[in-house]
Structure 1
Amino acid sequence: MTKKLMYLLGIIITILVGTYFFMKCCSCCGLPTSDTNSVSNTNEETKTPVEPEATSYPFSLKGNGFEFSNNDNFNFKTSEFKYQEPLSENVNKGVAALQQYLDKDATNAVTITGFYTDEEENNSAYPNLGIARANAVKNYVVASGVSSSKLNIAGQLMDSMVPKDSIYYGPVAYEPIVAEDNTAEMDALYLKIKANPLVLHFKTGEAAINLTTEQRQKIADISTYLDKVEDAMCTVVGHTDNTGVRANNINLGLNRAEFAKQYLIGNGISSAKINTSSKGPDEPIATNDTEEGKAQNRRTVVTLK
């Protein structure tokens, strides 16, 4: 073998050995290589995430020797507190079963809990959308012949809910409870509402009322009292400043009271439970000599009779 041939052979061997150690070191150090697994992993990472499966809660009532369940329940669009219509026949069967449970024993009562998520916008008059949904269901049950005094409402944050086509299926739960004498509780609630009534400041014709957290709780308290106390009534009184003719201000105050009444009705308080009237400019709470005082006098007061 000639020296030239041995020299070329040595070069080839050196190249092969160098390539081998290069591949070996890259693999050990975790450096990227162009193998088929890397291509496959990249493709997996760029896949579109799988959408979570929509949640659905049944109409279920179980306790005190009573049990009922079916897959249909009240449904709600996202950020809305009015249930979807028409209701299925199975929902009406659930309402009938609820009434059957309440009629079974005088001490039986039910808490209706509405679910909501942090992502939803609360356009109701209640502290959260869950309470507003529970109140809508309660009103339907009451219209079916159940006494509102046997029904409590509550709201529960449920961020695990997943809508389908912007609709939450069955975000309502029904829990059997024992009815208790709540006379003392209602007496205390009455005094609380009368001492610190709900006061609204807005212009006639506005499409919505923007409520604070405190005002939402006041409406919830008023609604609870009207539900629990037989013959309880809510009063809505309109007030104005002294600008213009008194007779016109009396009418203006009444218009504002009627607007507030319609707002309360839209949020589930029975129209039969609301009386409206107007004091016009006759009962100011601040001076009418300044714009700030006049603004305070233009108010609508919601309280209990």
Structure 2
Amino acid sequence: MTRTTTYLLGILITILAGIFLYLKLCSSCGTQMVAEEPVTEEIVPAAPEASSYPFAFRDGDYAYNVNDNYNFKVSSSTILMPLSQKVSDGITSLKGFLSENANKVMNVTGYYKADETNTSAFPNLGLARANAVKNHLVKNGIPSTQINTMGALMDDMVPKEDTYLGPVAYGITETAVDAEEELNALFDKIVANPLVLYFETGEASINLTPEQRQKVADISRYLDKVPSAKAQVVGHTDNTGRRASNIALGQGRADFAKAYLSQNGIADAKIVATSKGPDAPVASNTTDEGKAKNRRTVVTLMK
């Protein structure tokens, strides 16, 4: 092999080796570079912090304040148990204070939101919650005569999952000077325009109008303030069938209404259920419309 041939062969080998190394080591060479899309991280808004109201009240030098309270599920007026020890201690403290200050009353205000479902017998869920707290305080020895209950709309409340933390506020005030006159007026109002329910014995629930819910609240308030008072529930029927059967039917309706009121926080011992059957009609039994009006249950007050 001549020197020229050897020289040319070396050049060829060098070129081939260069092409091989170029293709091997530069895999992206000869291809168009595409800019990658910037990765954006989705920003999830932070959940609002749950609202929480303390078990707190003050009167002059006397004060109690702990970051615990009565808790309730959304759209419910049933207290979640057990209570914290701090709240239980506060109830004991409040009982002692009110016992030594008979001229003082505890104002309990229950909060509610407009989008909650109110299945109670009270005008709003806040008042129903306040009534539940009142009943618990009474069970722990605080007289109902020293407790006022109210409801207030609080749409700023934020639940913790499905629970409101302490949707109840408290305040201690003096007993109203005209309290007795106010109660007498309330009694006359209820007796003159009692709560009248129309339903059949077998119904599983009672659906009240706003006006009827307010009557329940008025009756409950009077019973709280006048220990000797009772709610009188009387069942009535039309004259279809035997009198004895209608007396029993009227009693069944009265007992059903009594159970409903009791479930909504009016003490069972404060309710007297009786029947007059067909004996006290308010309309003629000769028409279907008249019979429907006679099939009623009347809830009023008795001293």
1:178 & 1:236 partners in 2: Cα distance?
A: 34
Are residue 197 (structure 1) and residue 182 (structure 2) matched? no
Are the equivalent residues in 2 in contact too, given 1:76–1:167 (CA < 8 A)?
yes
Match of 1:252 in 2: 249
Match of 2:182 in 1: 185
2:52 & 2:286 partners in 1: Cα distance?
A: 59
Q: Which runs of 5+ in 1 are unaligned?
A: 1-35
Alignment partner of 1:139 out of 126, 135, 139? 135
Are residue 227 (structure 1) and residue 193 (structure 2) matched? no
Matches within 5 A, 1:259-274: 259-274=256-271
1:132-168 CA distance string (max 9 Å, x none): 0000000010111111111000011111111112000
1:214 & 1:106 partners in 2: Cα distance?
A: 33
2:254 & 2:175 partners in 1: Cα distance?
A: 35
**How far apart are residue 230 of structure 1 and its match?**
2.5
1:39 & 1:104 partners in 2: Cα distance?
A: 72
Are residue 53 (structure 1) and residue 49 (structure 2) matched? yes
Match of 1:88 in 2: 84
Alignment-mate amino acid for residue 115 of structure 1: Y
Structure index of larger Rg: 2
> Could you tell me the TM-score, scaled by structure 2's length?
0.85
Are residue 98 (structure 1) and residue 114 (structure 2) matched? no
Match of 2:296 in 1: 299
2:57 & 2:159 partners in 1: Cα distance?
A: 23
2:112 & 2:96 partners in 1: Cα distance?
A: 28
Match of 1:119 in 2: 115
Aligned residues: 267
Alignment partner of 2:212 out of 205, 210, 215? 215
SS of residue paired to 1:114: strand
Are the equivalent residues in 2 in contact too, given 1:74–1:83 (CA < 8 A)?
yes
> Could you tell me the TM-score, scaled by structure 1's length?
0.84
Q: Which runs of 4+ in 1 moved over 6 A?
A: none
**How far apart are residue 49 of structure 1 and its match?**
2.5
Are residue 150 (structure 1) and residue 152 (structure 2) matched? no
1:113-150 CA distance string (max 9 Å, x none): 10100110111111100000000000010111111111
**How far apart are residue 253 of structure 1 and its match?**
0.3
Task: Flag the structure with higher helix content.
Answer: 1
**How far apart are residue 218 of structure 1 and its match?**
0.4
Q: Which runs of 5+ in 2 are unaligned?
A: 1-35
Are residue 278 (structure 1) and residue 278 (structure 2) matched? no
